[in-house]
Structure 1
Amino acid sequence: MPDGTSSDTVVRGSGAYAGAIREFTGLFGSDRVVRDPLRLLAYGTDASFYRLIPQVVVKVESEAEVLAVLAACRRDGLPVTFRAAGTSLSGQAVSDSVLMMLGEKWDRVTVEKAGALVRLQPGVLGADANRRLASHARKIGPDPASIDSAKIGGIAANNSSGMCCGTSDNSYKTLVSMRLLLADGTLVDTGDADSVARFRTSHRDLLGKLDELGRATRADETLARRIRDKFAIKNTTGYSINALVDFEDPLEILQHLMIGSEGTLGFIAEITYRTVPEHAHKASALLLFPDIGEACRAVALLKATPVAAVELMDRPALRSVEDKPGMPAAIRGLGDGVTALLVEVRGEDAAELNARISQVSAVLGGVETLAPAAFTSDPDEFGKLWKIRKGLFPAVGAVRRAGTTVIIEDVAFRIADLAAATLDLQTLFEKHGYHEAIIFGHALDGNLHFVFTQDFAIDAEVERYAAFMDDVCKLVVDKYDGSLKAEHGTGRNMAPFVEMEWGRDAYRLMRSIKDLLDPDGILNPGVIICDDPQAHLKDLKPLPKADPLVDTCIECGFCERMCPSAGLTLTPRQRIVGWREISHLSDTGTDPEREAGLRTLYDYQGLETCAACGLCATACPVGIETGLLTKALRGRRQSTLGHRIAGIAGRHFGGALAAARFGLGAVALSNRTLGPAATRRLADYGRRISSGRLPKIGPALPGPASLPAAGQGDASGTPVIYLPSCANRTFGASPGAPETDAVPDRLVSLMVKAGYRPIFPDGLAGLCCGQAFESKGLDREADAKTAELAAAVIAVDDYGRIPVVMDASACTLRLKKMLAGRVTVLDSIEFLHDHAMPRLEVVAKQAEPVLVHVNCSAQRLGLGDKIVGLARACAETVVVPEGVGCCGFAGDKGFSTPELNDHALRRLPDAVPAGCEGGYSSNRTCEIGLSDHSGVPYRSIVYLVDRVTRRRP
């Protein structure tokens, strides 16, 4: 059963695709036509629990290219599925035929009418749209939990909503116009009068039939009332047939039918939204009720008040996170029936916020709570409250048994039914043995999410799931007449149940719409409209054990936007998908040839082009750092000889570093071992390597007994232990920069100017934090170097009272992790921002614009605001380029795998402002690649701070 094939899928041999693939390759080039088995496997996965491996993946960059793909698929009868971010949860974005992926050029954002309107292409991230609107105090209406990762194409095609938008501010309600590509190859822009006029002529018959459907639906009072009632609560089951009763103009009907159509009726190439206010003043309160009934009574009362969000959490949900770090003590030790509501109120100003809090508090006086409502507007405090809600889904995912998946379903009920329905769902969990299940949701809309774990590798478990879902559907539809899908879309998951929810007449209407707009049935078959009652139990995605480092991955795709290799080779999610398959094949021995082929591809796509920057963990709901898997696999590939050589290098690090300086210069003279881009970079830097040098080592600090009190200095300055990084001891000044001294020399000078006395441990030339070894998977050797460095630091100050300053954020990150609790490690950014700047004054700000790059380690250390703050204190104009995250230089990969650095920084050149003086960061190797791609010198932020400051009198 888990490996079955949906009856809606027409079985075609690969030969049926040969002509289309040749055409795609000729039109777009082989780089944008994916055919290798590893990437096809990777793109066969979205955030749902289904898998379909496509025959071909085509990355399109324009409307003309979409039309070309549609024409080929129409000609050859090939099903085609559109995909944006692949974060959908119901199986809408996978295909075993042609998968059309949005390329990166679909990212245009046009703000109009002072932010009242915004035009968006489908490749724009929802959060990026809101960032562009922030200066107008506006945002888009849809606010799904995945807004940081989901793209507008998917948000509109699924009619995604969220915690605040309800049924009034979703895509359907805030749609103004769209550019739409139909299956027959027609493009119509509903916001352009000329385009509309042409379309009304060319598609008179189609619009006439939509008009007839609308008139007939509105004339059928029973059906029209049914539709209005169903859409009075959240509903994404089936098509948006409310368009037939809400509008009379067939063109309005058409574009509103596209909302929530999940790529089965056409392609949304652009959408214009009416935006909604984004209030800056917010306050939240966590309300605890003795039982679900009292909580739902409160929801009914709150519905009439100006609340922005009301999130319900049952007792199992609270229990799943109560022992996590940072959780309020109030949620521990509660009774079994206790239910929480997390309430948020917003206002344009403080006065309006306070007035609304008073109004909400007055209403709450009519219900029983375990403690009085206490609203807080302190960002830190209400951030802790929302951490409860945001931690629920990951909490279940993190504790699931390896090999199982996490399923999140969403249903909706009328508010009057919410309490009873929640209790009924809890009863079904017990009946079917889902004892770990939790319930939470957007209570104001009667929208409940329930999360549970499921094993799809065993037939008996699939049968248990089938029986459970049958009972859920009967409960939601037969007992409460609710929505089987409130905001996650129908997909493959609920397609067999659409008629059950809507009834024969409404379902027949939906079939008529599908037949009218996609008569050949090529657009995403098996989604929304489906004849197979067992389709939701087929093509189920396996999640076999792969490695404890990544086994908790739920394949949601939230990580992908953070990855510098996304679009070049694989993303973190795709690396895990690939390694799971390789591990499964290895464990079972079922297909040695396929395993060998995937391993060969994985060496480059999975390992060589992974920056191992760790930014994926910052977006992952369960905190997975895929780079740890990459480094572990690199380590397993190291031979005994490799470890032996690394050990020798570690024990003789000073000599190895000197040899590296010579070696890099030598390599720069030859193009035999590296590609031209790497050779060019080495040639540029090889000429300057000789200027990399150690600062002069100062005298040893007196014994601990004579140390000054913390925070005080003596005549020679407040002591700090300074550990210059290997890169800053190897490379000299940045090419093109006016400075000729290396970072250690400049930072020592700045420390002295600020009244500090830098101290260096004995044997500094041979010390290393271990990062260079760790990135190669040489953990044993890395840890040995860290231990050696720690011993040298402790020899200087065995009381741990003197802070250690590191001048490379990547090294700081490792030391903070490895030496936590033993010594205080400060990154150069922290030292400058928190300690040096208060002792300095800015003489004159830098007049020319400067760029700032917050490298991946600085981001993980939470130092982004501080390095930008330093730059703004020192320069009139500071630019932080959008779309530039990790630079992909990754230690030495900018030399050995330059295409990764090239890809990661492809957007940087266009972001350089006119007259730019240069760029600043806090990792020397990152600065090499940044300089190369921007055309301006990047160097340490130390230089900028030193140049414009003097010691405060």
Structure 2
Amino acid sequence: MSNAQLSQYPLQNQLHNKSTISANANLSSGAKTDDDSIALDFDYLAFEREAKVFLGDRIFSDYARRFAYGIDASCYRYIPKLVVWVKNEEEIARLYDLSQKYNIPLTFRASGTSLSGQACSDSVLVVANEFWKNIKIKFDDNADSSKAPTSIVCDCGVIGSDANAALKPYNRKIGPDPATINNALIGGIFSNNSSGMCCGVKQNSYQTIKSIRVILGDLRKTSKSSKNYGDDRGEKIKHNGNAIVLDTSDEARQGESLASFISAYPHIVKSLLDLREEILADKELCEMIKRKFAIKNTTGYALNALVDFSDIKDILNHIFIGAEGTLGFISRVEYECVQDYAHKACALLFYENLSLASEAVKILARNDSIVSAAEIMDYACLMSASSLDGMPSEISKVKSGNCAILVQLEEDCLEALEKNIATITSALSPIESLFGVKFSFDSAEQESWWKIRKALLPLSASSRPSGSTVITEDICFEIDSFAKGIQNTQELFAKHGYEGIIFGHALSGNVHFIITPLLKDKAEITRFGRFMEDLAKMVASLGGSTKAEHGTGRMVAPFVELEWGEKAYKINQKIKQIFDSRNLINPDVIITNDKNIHLKNLKPAAQGVLEDYLDACMECGFCEKICPSKHLTLTPRQRIALRREIKRLKSLKNKTNSQRRQYEELKKSYKYLGVQTCATCSMCATLCPLEIDTAKIALKLSPKWSKKYGGVSALLASSLSHNISLMTNLARHLTSLSNSLQELLTPQKMQNLTRKFYATIGTPILPITMPKPNEKKIRGQQWASKFLEDKCDNVEYASLASSGVSSEKLNGRLNGEVVYFTSCLNRIFAPKSNASSELESNITKIFDRPMQEVFESLCKKANFYLHYPQNIQHLCCGKAYKNHKEQSQNLAKNAYLALREASQNGRVPIVCDHSACSLELLKKIKEFEAQESANSDYLAPLRFYDLPAFVSECLLPHLEIVPLSQATKQNPPKVALYAPCGTRNLSVKSQKWEESIFSIAKACGADIIHDSQVKCCGFAGNKGFITPELNESALKYFGTNFLKSSNQSPLSHSDYIFDEAKMGFSSSSTCEIGLAQKSGFEWRHIIYLADICAK
């Protein structure tokens, strides 16, 4: 948000300007804990002051956000002095200048999923994520865009899976495939030389890189003479301040090309080529480099770039791979595309022990030309995944010591794949497996197996003892040493008293393991240090890699020389010196003088302080990309980490002054950062392998604050919850008043005015797209009578009417019946009367009707009998009173009893017309039914539907649907769809609430546009009125497509994908307010579309 926007939200503005704690609190055992001023030679205040000029509100100095934004997936806890969200290359260049001016180090970070501490900082953390999302697909000059692309250009902030999604229509993908590909960003994948399950060393970044764009520091400082800088030989290099842009692509702009770089910095080129000659002159060193990079290796810099290539372009393209942001800022990467095979087959092979599995691995490795992956998992891994969906029945039969290998084969031709399966099955036959060799072609089954494998780290870490630290190691051996390496690792576990979990990419000889030590005192840290030293020596003795794919980071920086030897280590040091002579770019990563750096600033033990449902979180970051507040305040893992730290500080019996100040500031800041800007949508649980629902924090804390600070709120809640009819009538009148004022002042002026009121007295902010009041008087008996009149002759109707409405007497005349629970929100709001003028008048009339009339119309067309529960005007699901538990529970109970009666104890299905309320009702119904069952009062379960699901499953088969083009008598505009977060909740996944919205639109022949990235709009019921910045931030990029084709240049934000849409459909009236404000056109419930097309 801009500073102007920020000022509209006083709570956020106040928080942003706080800087009461400027300390770096080293929180691990033995680290400083009472350092509140940091006596350093660096002037961070001056740095911040100058940086604010061009960064505005994207530089953070308040302690709460410095702590939260400093979190990553590693075992380290560093708290930056400043955190910066960078927007473009110019800002990077200016930060370089400030770094050199004040001698302040910079650390570049992408998504924070790395595990070795390479993205941690106690100085200035520079985050390149939100604003770096452009993708460009390139084709051969002579090929059209229907052919297979040759390469893909990605900004550093593109998620790896998004790059693959862009390439999927062409059966292509990027080479690297780390387990974190759904979260890791291209900048991190490239800078760590991440590989993964299938790519091995054949299709990693090193093998598939085509060009890079990198922002370098002031390289002129490294030369004794500057007479050649920018001379007349060729192009002059383009500088942003003292920083340099180097673009090795064929499309490099003048002053940024490789030729410009060579001309301006011949000493850099010479230094690199001299290093190459030094290596080639030492045959033993040269052979060692080739041998060590024949397997996965991310220990140290890419020395193989100096052996494999003689052309300076190739050397520069490759030298930054795996450099972990220590040499420069990788702005953009161009990867060659690799084949994404159409046909895949997987087998889950179980073995008696790891020794037998290792023998199978050798066979698979000898056939690596037809085997794309072989993932080994020990007994502990299998147990951690055994309770999850999609696991085969064999897992329940495994015994201690057993293990499994997940094998994948892939081909473009099914016949070839089947032939390869026969070859592998035969080759494996000498190694006895527990349950045989069975390959599956079922993509859903394969996906479930791979989902478990990719989630093994957080799954395994979840079973750790409370307060322990998750240590993830990543070693690699030549295949012939693979079994020995695993055996030696297990012996080290026993020697140092650790219980480890082993898994990894067996086909590459790559072993991952997890240990969870309680690093609560110096003795424990010393024990861990001895283990790491023994591990490094063991791996080096077998010619392996102490880091295969997770990056050197801080974890093995002290052991780079041990693994590589003195001569190779000096080459590493020289590479660092060439590009960062002042050691200001990510210091202590890869190259360090501190031999104990891996033991410092470990995440502190916080034993027994955090709620059980949160304690399993290891801060992996899988949840972050889906969170609606990720660009505003915090993500789920940051909320959990901040709460963990608050609880840890609170638990300390003898707090220092610094700890006391930290505790007070974190607790105060958490109200806005952790609670008020949490949408409580639970979308984080859908991506978390452990299904941790961070929304529970806000749901738990909000009522406490409401009770403590909101006496008036509690009184109103108590009064209004006893008279829902009064509440809805009052809300209608206020909605009508707001409409009138908007007409008088204009919607924008009215919104600005209410923002001022909100800032002073806390009244709601009025959206520009405020709906109109719903004037419909719901009379269930009246509608039923009209229904009977339409279906019966006069005599029969009179008889039925006199005996009361009885749907059973219409048996044979009906296709079905339904109880309609219309939410209080939809009894208050109705769509505005401003449908597109391009539509026919009959369509406009449908759009202008209240939702209840539209659903009544659909039911009549489908010959379904509809009736409302008794006293519907007094019913509410209770969600509106979520901060007042007693009132919420009472309302939910009343609704449940009314629905049980109206549905004749579950005989008649029930629908609700607001997805968020549907979710709330469903949860409460299950809760009350469980209570009844426990009391032996068994009643048949209620049959409950969200409205789109009911229409899709029950009404559509009985409706005559005409295509939208026919219904509108013209070529209709494209239809925008959005499935609210309530339809995506894990608890309704099997009921396909989300899919039903799309199935209705498809049945209507609609040309659908939807944004697959936004999973929650952030309106969050009332938060759209009292915390509108959450909705604005969640929808900031709604409808933005960052994908470019080869003829679009330069890279920039693409066109708005909803430009051609004139109507939008969803299933939540509050969400539709925010969607309309963002998109510029009205949104309605999906049943409006169904009624348009139903004859």
TM-score by length of 1: 0.94
Matched, 1:758 2:866: yes
- Equivalent of residue 673 in structure 1, options 757, 775, 791: 757
Show the counterpart of 2:7.
none
What do residues 146-170 of structure 1 show as CA deviations (whole Å, max 9, x unaligned)? Answer: 1111110111001111101100111
Distance 1:144 1:108 in 2: 21
The 8 Å contact of residues 476 and 483 in structure 1, kept in 2 or not, is answered as yes
Distance in 1 (alpha carbons) for counterparts of 2:523 and 2:442: 50
Structure 1 partner of 2:43: 16
SS at match of 2:347: strand
Aligned counterparts, 1:339-378, within 5 A: 339-378=403-442
What is the CA distance between 1:708 and its match in structure 2?
A: 7.1
Partner SS, residue 410 of structure 1: strand
Q: CA deviation at 1:353?
A: 2.6
> Is 1:55 matched with 2:153?
no
Q: Distance in 2 between matches of 1:128 and 1:707?
A: 52
- 1:216 and 1:401 mapped to 2: Cα distance? 50
Could you tell me which residue of structure 2 aligns to residue 555 of structure 1?
A: 619
Please tell me the residue identity of whatever aligns with 1:524. N
Task: Give the letter aligned to residue 850 of structure 1.
Answer: V
- Matched residue, 2:150: 116
Aligned partner letter, 2:889: D
For residue 401 of structure 2, give the secondary structure of its aligned residue in structure 1: coil
Match of 1:660 among 731, 737, 760: 731
Larger Rg: 2
Alignment match, 2:362:
300
Distance 1:313 1:665 in 2: 62
The partner residue of 2:524 within 446, 461, 465 is: 461
- Residue 801 and residue 427 in structure 1: after superposition, are their counterparts in 2 closer, same or farther (change >3 A)? farther
1:478-533 C-alpha deviation (Å, 9 max, x unpaired): 2x221111111111111111111111111111001101111011010010001111
**Superposition pairs of residues 710-721 of structure 1, within 5 angstroms:** 714-721=812-819
Instruction: Determine whether 1:89 maps to 2:187.
Output: no
Distance 2:443 2:770 in 1: 46
The change in CA–CA distance for 1:23 and 1:940 in structure 2 (over 3 A counts) is same
Segments of 5+ residues of structure 1 without an aligned counterpart are none
1:816 equivalent to 2:922? Answer yes
Q: Deviations 1:234-272 (Å, cap 9, x if unpaired)?
A: 111111111111111233212211000001011111110
The 8 Å contact of residues 903 and 909 in structure 2, kept in 1 or not, is answered as: no
Q: Using the TM superposition, give the Cα deviation of residue 829 of structure 1 relative to its aligned residue in structure 2, in angstroms.
A: 2.2
Q: Decide whether the 8 Å contact of 1:736 with 1:936 is kept in 2.
A: no
Which of 244, 248, 272 matches 1:186? 244
Name the aligned partner's letter for residue 540 of structure 1: L
Partner in structure 2 of residue 176 of structure 1: 210
Q: How much has 1:189 moved relative to structure 2? A: 0.7
User: Residue 695 of structure 1 contacts residue 744 of structure 1 at CA under 8 Å; is this kept in 2?
Assistant: no
Contact 1:43 1:94 in 2 (8 A): no
Q: Return the alpha-carbon distance in structure 2 between the equivalents of residues 409 and 693 of structure 1.
A: 65
Structure 2 CA distance, aligned partners of 1:204 and 1:5? 45
SS at match of 1:638: helix
The question of whether the paired residues in 1 share the 8 Å contact of 2:758 and 2:765 is answered with no
Q: What is the CA deviation profile of residues 556-581 of structure 1, one whole-angstrom value per residue up to 9, with x for unaligned ones? A: 11211111111211111222222222
- How far is 1:764 from its partner? 1.3
Q: What is the SS of the residue equivalent to 1:648?
A: helix
Partner of 1:928: 1073
How far has the Cα of 1:67 moved from its partner? Answer: 0.7
Tell me which of 687, 696, 700 is aligned to 1:619.
687
Name the CA distance, whole Å, in 1 between partners of 2:32 and 2:556: 16
Separation of aligned partners in 2, 1:713 and 1:497: 80
More displaced stretch, 392-401 vs 513-522: 392-401
Q: Given that residues 381 and 460 in structure 2 are in contact (C-alpha distance below 8 angstroms), is that contact kept between their aligned partners in structure 1?
A: no
Greater displacement, 665-674 / 142-151 = 665-674
Distance 2:529 2:354 in 1: 28
Q: Which residue of 2 aligns with 1:537?
A: 599
User: What is the letter of the counterpart of residue 817 of structure 2?
Assistant: P
User: For 2:874 and 2:102, how far apart are their aligned partners in 1?
Assistant: 66
Report the equivalent of 1:259: 321
Deviation of 1:696 (Å): 3.6
Matching of residue 828 in structure 1 with residue 947 in structure 2? yes
Matched, 1:246 2:326: no
Q: Which secondary structure state, in structure 2, belongs to the residue aligned with residue 50 of structure 1?
A: coil
Alignment partner of 2:588: what SS?
coil
2:770 aligned counterpart, secondary structure: helix
Selected match of 2:975 from 831, 850, 865 = 850
* Root mean square deviation of aligned Cα: 2.6
> Is 1:654–1:766's contact at 8 Å kept on the other side of the alignment?
yes
Q: Which amino acid aligns with 1:614?
A: S
Deviation at 1:664, TM superposition (A): 4.6
Answer yes or no: is the 8 Å Cα contact 2:807–2:865 preserved in 1.
no
Deviations 1:677-722 (A, max 9, x none): 9977457536x1243653645569999xx9879xx96424412222
Task: Kindly provide the amino acid, as one letter, of the partner of residue 660 in structure 1.
Answer: A
Structure 2 distance, partners of 1:288, 1:946, is 54
Instruction: Kindly indicate whether the alpha-carbon contact (under 8 Å) linking 1:734 and 1:928 is maintained by their aligned counterparts in 2.
Output: no
The amino acid of 1:769's aligned partner reads C
The Cα of 1:831 is off from its aligned counterpart by: 1.4
Alignment pair present for 1:728 and 2:826: yes
User: Would you say the 8 A contact 1:849–1:875 is kept in 2?
Assistant: no
Q: Bigger shift: 113-122 or 374-383?
A: 374-383
Deviation at 1:799, TM superposition (A): 4.1
Letter in 1 for 2:1066: S
Deviates more, 1:274-283 or 1:538-547: 538-547
Question: Does the aligned pair in 2 maintain the 1:717–1:752 contact within 8 Å?
Answer: no
> 1:933, CA displacement in angstroms?
1.2
Counterpart in 1 of 2:555? 493
Distance change (3 Å), C-alpha of 1:729 and 1:707 = closer
Q: Matched residues in 2 for 1:221 and 1:660: separation?
A: 83
User: 1:52: how far off?
Assistant: 1.4
1:56-104 deviations in Å (ceiling 9; x for gaps): 1122111111111111101221110001111111111111111111152
* 1:841-894 alpha-carbon deviations (Å, 9 max, x no partner): 331224210111122112224443332232233244211125433111110111
Aligned residues of 1:439 and 1:448 also touching (Cα < 8 A): yes
- Say yes or no: does 1:805 pair with 2:911: yes
Mapped pair 1:868 → 2:966 = no
User: Match of 1:78?
Assistant: 104
CA distance in 1, matches of 2:738, 2:1007: 39
The Cα shift of 1:634 comes to 0.5
Give the distance between the partners of 1:707 and 1:365, measured in 2 at CA.
66
Once residues 548 and 601 of structure 2 are traced to their aligned partners in structure 1, the CA distance between those partners, rounded to angstroms, is 23
Residue 937 (1) aligns with residue 1045 (2): no
| Counterpart in the other structure of 2:770 | 685
Partners in 1 of 2:495 and 2:848 — Cα distance?
74
Q: Give the equivalent residue in structure 1 for 2:177.
A: 143
Q: CA deviation at 1:15?
A: 5.8
Q: Once the 2 structures are TM-superposed, how far is the Cα of residue 798 of structure 1 from its aligned partner? A: 4.9
Whole-angstrom distance in 1 between the partners of 2:893 and 2:605: 38
Three-state SS of the structure 1 residue aligned to 2:554 is: coil
Moved more, 125-134 or 744-753: 744-753
CA contact (8 A) 1:678 1:897 kept: no
Of 598, 602, 606, which aligns to 2:670? Answer: 602
> 1:369 and 1:169 mapped to 2: Cα distance?
30
Secondary structure (helix, strand or coil) at the match of 2:757 reads coil
Q: What's the CA shift string for 1:881-929, capped at 9, x where partnerless?
A: 2543311111011111111111111223653434422111111100011
Deviation of the 1:725 alpha carbon: 1.6
Correspondences of 1:33-44 after superposition (within 5 Å): 33-44=59-70
Deviations 1:341-397 (A, max 9, x none): 111122224323322222222222232112221111122333343354345333333
Match of 2:53 among 18, 23, 26: 26
Question: TM-score, length-normalised on structure 2?
Answer: 0.82
- The AA in structure 1 aligned to 2:31 is G
Q: In the aligned structure 1, how far is the partner of 2:719 from the partner of 2:373?
A: 60
* TM superposition shift of 1:723: 1.1
Q: For residues 620 and 547 of structure 1, do their structure 2 counterparts lie closer, same or farther at Cα, with a shift above 3 Å needed? A: same
- 2:569 aligned with 1:482: no
Point out where structure 2 has 5 or more consecutive residues left out of the alignment.
1-27, 140-147, 219-242, 742-752, 789-799, 836-843, 930-940, 966-971, 1041-1055
